[in-house]
Amino acid sequence: EETKQFLEDHTSSMKKDISDADQDMLTVYVKYWTEYSNGAQYLNLLYGYLNTQFVKKRQVNDHDQLLDCNLESNEQPLFEIGEMALDCWTKIIIEP
């Protein structure tokens, strides 16, 4: 949860800088996207153990629950860190 909040705050800050860029908006966007996507890859590697031991096991269990038609869980789906970073970029910078 803390990592997700960090990514959301960082992405929101980047969005403000991109919006304030006026004529250089595309240049600033490309610069930030390059830095952000590289950072997301590094975070994904850094959190690799968590991704393989916790997230993927949880995803398998969620899949098993769906097969059993047990849809009572209100929990958010778990993403690997790299996916979470890209999801933040999409929701904060691209979609609005």
Q: For 24-78, what is each residue's pLDDT tens digit?
A: 999 999 999 999 999 999 998 888 887 777 766 666 565 555 555 544 555 566 6
Tell me if the pTM is above 0.85.
Answer: no
How many angstroms separate the CA atoms of 44 and 49, rounded? Answer: 9
Domains of the chain: 2-94 (1.20.1310.10)
Contacts of 33 (CB under 8 A, 6+ apart): 89
Dig out the tokens for 51 from the structure: 């991704």
For 13-54, give the DSSP string.
Answer: HHHHHHHTTGGGHHHHHHHHHHHHHHHHHHHHHHTHHHIIII
